[in-house]
Amino acid sequence: MTKLLHISASPRGARSESLALASRFLRVYREQNPSHTVEEWDLWDGTLPAFGPPAAAAKMDVFAGVEPSGEGAAAWAAARAAFSRFAAADKLLFSVPMWNASVPYVLKQFIDVVSQPGLVFGFDPAAGYSGLLTGRKAAVVYTSAVYGEGRGPAFGDDFQQPFFDGWLRWAGITDLTTVSFRPDLVTADAAAGRALATADAVEAAKRF
């Protein structure tokens, strides 16, 4: 059975623009695909493990062909469990608000936890990295409150979408759909932009 996993990086609940768009996407997706399974993963729910010194040591052990032991073994098992939850999905929906020109730190934590050798990527000394998550498709909802394309540098930079799109492609997920809502909340009414983004989310869900 086809499974879609929604991974949310926003902690703002009902006040979140990215979650509102993702919810609209999911509503339409469920209507279009009633036999598919849809699961939710709120990255702020406390289930995402830390990736500190024991986990980093375990990762380097795996790179070297050594079985992690002690604290490293437990940290490696936690990282593999998080990866398995992620990789069990055929389709992925991410809701990603912009924080300080980039992504929320909890999303970077997720990336650091699951991006492991033999799981998300392979590596060859001559050929470099190869993404292992091929065959999946992803949709990403990007939102920002001040930054917008074409605004001056005083309104910020975009290290959000290039970074996250780049990570997905690096992991082998090249079938990407994006929905963006970047209202100029400083100088304009956001309602028109929100309506356009909602319409984009609806159409994206129908195609997904």
pLDDT single digits (tens) 32-69 = 999 999 999 999 999 999 999 999 999 999 988 899 99
Taking the CA atoms of the chain, what radius of gyration do you get in angstroms? 18
More confident call, 190 vs 11:
11
> Among 72-81, 101-110, 145-154, which stretch is predicted with the lowest mean pLDDT?
145-154
Q: What CA–CA distance (Å, rounded) separates 145 from 30?
A: 29
Distance of CA 203 to the CA centre of its chain: 20
Lowest mean pLDDT among 6-10, 42-46, 55-59, 107-111: 55-59
39 is in which domain, residue-wise? 3-207
Q: What is the pLDDT of residues 173-198, one digit of tens each?
A: 999 999 999 876 655 678 888 999 99
pLDDT, residue 186, reads 58
177 bridge partner residues: 139
- The pairing of beta strand 137-143 with beta strand 175-181: parallel
pLDDT of residue 185: 61
Number of domains the chain is built from: 1
- For residue 91, the domain's CATH number is 3.40.50.360
Please give the pLDDT value at position 91.
98
pLDDT of amino acid 184: 64
Q: Which residues contact 179 (CB under 8 A, 6 or more apart)?
A: 21, 25, 139, 140, 141, 142, 197, 200, 201, 204
Look at residue 15 in the predicted model and tell me its pLDDT: 92
| pLDDT score of 188 | 65
Q: Between residues 194 and 170, which one has the greater pLDDT?
A: 170
Q: Is the pLDDT of residue 16 over 80?
A: yes
pLDDT of residue 187: 57
